[in-house]
Every structure is written in structure tokens, then in C-alpha cells.
Amino acid sequence: MIDRKAYRTISYGLYVIASRLPDGRKAACVANTFQQIASDPAKVSVSLNKQNATTEAALSSGKFTASVLAQSATMDLIGPFGFHSSLDTDKFDGIEHDVDACDMPCLTQDCVATFSVDIEQTIDVGSHMLLIGSVTSARVLSDQPPLTYAYYHEVLRGKTPPKAASYQGNDSPASGESDATAAESEAAKPGEIRYAWRCTICGHIEYVDELPDDFTCPICGVGREFFERIEV
């Protein structure tokens, strides 16, 4: 017997892992699996989903950066990195960032530190690839406390993206639409103008005329203030 709640007792941080795709575009995603695994020489590892564009970028370039998110980071900063694809979204647009000596992008906004890593070994672990490498540079950006995964869930009310290594299933369907809203959407007559609300963080749509003041997104966990009204 495996009690999935046991996985929630494992302590994690929250990091933005970034690299460059073969065409030069920046790719980045949120991960909670970055960690130091040796001290001399300093080696680190991170586990990334095989389907992520960031994984493709890191494997093709042989390099990645890891930015340690600060507790001051908000969902409107974290959300795009965790719930959108780098193939169709420039996640760094309008956000403070830098590049390292190898032109690899790294987030600097609401971050505690950044690391640059040369990949030396990869291990296929099923849904994810484990990337192991040596740290080529590291710098401290602030003295803020780092954001923990527990704080992300309990205070920011964030959800775990389905591609995360620690994903165990959220309380709501990962499809982005509940059975109730799907049925309501299907009931709309052709040509009829209706209104709905779209989450600006993950894109989830609620097919209702108005959202309750205490509404939270069932996919990424943000509040009503992150929703925009749209015509459907």
C-alpha cells in the first residue's frame, strides 16, 4: 500500500530552470527537484519532465541555469513558468532576468540566488530525465528567505502542474474544465454570445456569468483577481 499523502512530507524548494532551444529561444519551467548532490567538486541535479521544452533545451545545449525563487515571489510571476509552454510563450517577457557567461537565461526577479550548470550525466527515470552536472558559477541575489514548496501550497495556494515530478493529482480535473462547466459550455446555442472567465495564469475557463469573490482556480490555485471576462 502506498499512501500518496506521504510524498507531501518531503521538503522542497521552488526553482526556475532555464536553457536555450536549438533555435536560440529561451525556455524555462518551474521545478522543485533542484538540489546539491556533491560538494567536491560541487555537483547538482534536477529532474525535468521529458515533455517539457526546457528539457529539450537543456539536453541540446548541455547547460541550464537554476534560479532560487524568493518567498516574495507571487503567483503572477510563478504561474507562466509553471503552467505555459516555452514553445508558444516568452516567459521572460517583462520580467527581470539576465544571461550567464554562456548566454543561458536566468531569472533575477524575486530570486535569492542563481546557478549555472554544465550537464555531465543524464538518467532516464521514466516520465522524467534526471540531469546531473557541475556548477560553473553561482551568485547570491538577495538575503530574502527562499520559497518552499510548502509555502507555495499553503500560503500562495498554488497547485502542482501535471508535469511536475511531485505531481500526485490535484483535487480538480487536470483537463482545465470541470464536468459542470463542460456541460454548461456544450449547452450553449450556436451563435449565442455568452460570457466566461479565463485564468490569466494557466488559461483555465469557467463558463459562468459571474465568479464568486472567494473563487480560486481549480488548476493553478490563484484567486478571482487573476481572471478576465471573455466572450464565448
Question: pLDDT digit string (tens) for 114-135?
Answer: 999 999 999 999 999 999 999 9
Same domain? 143 vs 213 = no
- What pLDDT score does 50 carry? 94
Low-confidence residues in the chain, pLDDT < 50 = 170-187
Same domain? 222 vs 143 = no
Same domain? 97 vs 140 = yes
Q: Tell me, yes or no, whether 165 lies in a domain.
A: no
- What pLDDT score does 182 carry? 39
Same domain? 134 vs 200 = no
Same domain? 122 vs 204 = no
Torsions phi, psi for 227 (to 5 deg): -100, 145
- What pLDDT score does 178 carry? 36
- What pLDDT score does 52 carry? 92
Same domain? 191 vs 118 = no
Determine the length of the chain. Answer: 232
pTM of structure = 0.76
Same domain? 91 vs 128 = yes
Q: Tell me, yes or no, whether 160 lies in a domain.
A: no
Q: Which domain holds residue 137?
A: 4-154
- What pLDDT score does 168 carry? 55
- What pLDDT score does 14 carry? 94
3-state helix, strand, coil in the chain (%, to 5): 20, 35, 45
- What pLDDT score does 41 carry? 87
- What pLDDT score does 127 carry? 93
pLDDT in tens, 3-32: 877 877 888 899 999 999 999 999 999 999
**Pair 51, 163: CB distance under 8 Å:** yes
Domain count for the chain = 2
